[in-house]
Structure 1
Amino acid sequence: MTLTAPGRASDHTAGPGTATSASTSPTARGLWRGARGMVAVGVLVVLVAVIAALFTGTSTEGRPLDPADASLTGGKALAQLLRARGVRVERVSTVDDVVRLDGPASRVLVTDTSFLSADEVSRLSRTRAQRLIAGPVSDLDRLAPGIGPTGETGSRSREPQCALPAAVRAGSAFMGGALFTVPRGSTGCYPGSDGASLVHTPGDPSVTVVGDGAFMTDRRLAEDGNAALAMNLAGDRPVLIWLVAPDEPQAVPGSGEASAADLIPPGVPWAVVQLGVALVVVAFWRGRRLGPVVVERLPVVVRAAETVEGRGRLYRARRARDRASATLRAACVSRLVPRLGLSGEAAPDEIVAATALRTGHDAIWVRSVMYGPTPADDAGLIALAGHLDTLERQVREP
């Protein structure tokens, strides 16, 4: 009887002459399958970098109508044009500075009063400088007496339709926003349905109010007659006092006011996000399922008999007669069942009865051979192997 384990390879199927081989030349599909993970990582990193640049590098947020702000909403371009014309532009953020520079030869430009107290607004209203109020400023009744809001209109290119020299020389401009009443003796320009978006009241000091200061920003300054109108209104005096909100205090390292987040440069969080995304993608790429089985030539061909002998020596060295007998019996049953015409799910009683009927042996003896106890020694194991071989031969050749 040949001692073989279930599922072993036969000797005649493992020869050097019958070994198969497959082509190892790279194909386009194989190259793409191997490189698509890295391509995906690269595309994703570039995508995150572009999004980060869009949100950080091209941000248009700034301080509206600030002569020191070069963003699209700032007023740095107008300040430079006025300085080139010879106007002294003073950027201030307190009423004390306005009072220090106050005089008939000055004009104060006010774009926001929300940061001023009631007392500071009163002091500002008593200055002698000519006033230019741009945008929907609060406390308008105190800074521009007699001029009140009547509604709003959309900002667009409009014709002046008035006799004010500063507006006539400029022509059409991007005006709109808040609309105001035009008191007696005042001039209203760029009219809307409920009033004018530019009102000029002569006097000492004179007051000019515009409903939307967007025409003075860097975004709109080069359109229509916006630059001319802005310079005519703001640059008609040697000194322009440009009142803006105070800068927000910045935490100074070492002062005890800066947190750990304040000390991190702005670009570091975006870099960490990009690295995190790349790490997740690489983890998914490396954890993907295994590819197809690759057929390759074996360096050494081992005969099936040598495998069986090696396993037998291991069983003998460990005195594993239980494992050896179970292996022999399982192998014998697996070969007898199809020869007896039974299914793979046949019960032991059916196998024993069919074997006894085919060989003529007593069913009790057949059961002891095929499903009996473990042999007590090596001699019993050898005898069991002989009995199994006899049963298998008699079933194969009745």
Structure 2
Amino acid sequence: MIVLLGAVVVLVSILGVLLGPEQTPARYLDPDDTSLSGSKALAELLRDRGVTVDRVDSVEAAAAKAATGDRLLLITDTTYIDEFDLARIPGDRLVIGGVFGLEALAPGVRVEPVGERVRSREPECGLPAATAAGSAFLGGAPLRGPSGSTACYPAGDGHALVSFPYASGVITVVTDGDFMTNQRLAEDGNAALALNLVGTGKAVTWLVAPETPPAVALPGERGKSMYDLMPPGIRWAVYMAIIAVLVTAFWRGRRLGPVVTEKLPVIVRAAETVEGRGRLYRARRARERAADALRAGTIDRLTPRLGLASGADRQEIVPALAARTGQDAQQVGAALYGPPPADDAGLVRLAGYLDFMERQISEHR
């Protein structure tokens, strides 16, 4: 009886999920998103000031808005978007965060390999939008702009904001967009900086990535969803199949008795273990834990090769490693003991640099 009651509860739960309303996931820096990571508050502040804010999710829509007049193109995500087509749209351009295709969207801007912790920073520059706002919550991978650019908010070996003129307007790149989110907008001078950068008096085309890859439909044919292509009775057939599976499991479970488990030896290759752990780190976006593991492994392997005792601290390891490899001591210290990378690209660069130092030590033994 208890098993039958449990089966009924499972069935009701499944039906509730299938028939219940879909929940909208949070979308980072989306002007229509009211979650902590969205930017609905900033969009409403801009509209209250008379600024037109149009949310688009394709290059075609952004280009159509640009054809109506002089506008500011705000880019927060380029997933499923061709950055080269996007770069052809004229006018001022504000790029937020480590988007894909930054080389095309902001020519001449370089991203430093070691990221900086996101925290409150002072502008220390002459850009009016930054000096009027004061301190702001910024960080991430430092930027270096092209010749003639204005750089604000020092971070590591670069800056968190760079701005420079180009052929048809001004390009501004901000390395991290947390200051524009609903959660951080009221802190420091975040709201002032966001309004100064976005609310320039021009209409704003706010580009976000589409939630799904654009569908490819045949000429003259309207794209259909998966549910449109299903036969009318398929949903009830699925429900009946679920009930049949549950009834069969209950019947067979009572006939065969409880399941007997037995521990069996399993051999897992080291490479599979490493790949599996790497996929888990990537799925959970655990860049900090992954970076700590890479740094700890590098330090453990290099300490005996440098002739140092086990447990040597930073003051011993960094000078010895810099002397053996010819690298700058500050760069070596940032790689081994600096803040975690701000994105996956920074983590890959950190791993490559650590591997480079290990090979340098091996070649000089």
**Normalized against structure 2, the TM-score is what?**
0.50
Query: Which segments of 5 or more consecutive residues in structure 1 lack a partner in the other structure?
Result: 1-34, 290-398
Q: Relative to structure 1, is the Cα distance of residues 251 and 235 closer, same or farther in structure 2, using a 3 angstrom cutoff?
A: same
Q: Does 1:166 align with 2:129?
A: yes
Q: Does 1:213 align with 2:213?
A: no
Q: From 103, 106, 130, give the equivalent of 1:144.
A: 106
| Contact 2:163/2:171, CA 8 A, preserved across alignment | yes
Q: From 146, 155, 162, give the equivalent of 1:199.
A: 162
Q: Does 1:188 align with 2:151?
A: yes
| Contact 1:107/1:237, CA 8 A, preserved across alignment | no
Q: From 123, 127, 142, give the equivalent of 2:88.
A: 123
Distance apart, 1:235 and its partner CA? 1.4
Distance apart, 1:74 and its partner CA? 4.5
Q: 2:237, 2:49 → 1: CA distance?
A: 44
**For residues 75-154 of structure 1, what are the structure 2 equivalents within 5 Å?**
75-92=39-56, 93=58, 94=60, 96-103=63-70, 106-112=71-77, 115-116=81-82, 118=84, 120-121=85-86, 123-124=88-89, 127=90, 129-138=91-100, 140-141=102-103, 143-154=105-116
Q: Over aligned residues, Cα RMSD in angstroms?
A: 4.6
Q: 2:88, 2:156 → 1: CA distance?
A: 34
Secondary structure of the 1:109 match is strand
Query: Which segments of 5 or more consecutive residues in structure 2 lack a partner in the other structure?
Result: 258-365
Q: Relative to structure 1, is the Cα distance of residues 168 and 46 closer, same or farther in structure 2, using a 3 angstrom cutoff?
A: farther
Q: Relative to structure 1, is the Cα distance of residues 100 and 172 closer, same or farther in structure 2, using a 3 angstrom cutoff?
A: same
Secondary structure of the 2:44 match is helix
| Percent of aligned pairs sharing the same letter | 39
Q: Give the aligned residue type for 2:64.
A: D
Secondary structure of the 1:136 match is coil
C-alpha deviations, 1:174-208, integer Å up to 9, x for none?
Answer: 42233211456543233222211211336873321
Secondary structure of the 1:209 match is strand
Q: What is the total number of aligned residue pairs between the two structures?
A: 245
Q: Give the aligned residue type for 1:178.
A: A
Q: Relative to structure 1, is the Cα distance of residues 88 and 257 closer, same or farther in structure 2, using a 3 angstrom cutoff?
A: closer
Q: 2:111, 2:66 → 1: CA distance?
A: 27
Q: Give the aligned residue type for 1:192.
A: A
Q: 1:280, 1:77 → 2: CA distance?
A: 53
Q: From 237, 242, 251, give the equivalent of 1:283.
A: 251
Q: Give the aligned residue type for 1:115.
A: I
Q: 2:188, 2:4 → 1: CA distance?
A: 52
| Contact 1:65/1:74, CA 8 A, preserved across alignment | yes
Q: 2:146, 2:66 → 1: CA distance?
A: 28
C-alpha deviations, 1:358-393, integer Å up to 9, x for none?
Answer: xxxxxxxxxxxxxxxxxxxxxxxxxxxxxxxxxxxx
Q: 2:11, 2:237 → 1: CA distance?
A: 15
Name whichever of 207-216 and 224-233 sits farther off: 224-233
C-alpha deviations, 1:235-259, integer Å up to 9, x for none?
Answer: 122311223456734989xx58547
Matching residue of 2:196 = 232
**Normalized against structure 1, the TM-score is what?**
0.47
Q: Give the aligned residue type for 2:6.
A: A
**For residues 17-36 of structure 1, what are the structure 2 equivalents within 5 Å?**
35-36=1-2
Q: Relative to structure 1, is the Cα distance of residues 217 and 46 closer, same or farther in structure 2, using a 3 angstrom cutoff?
A: farther
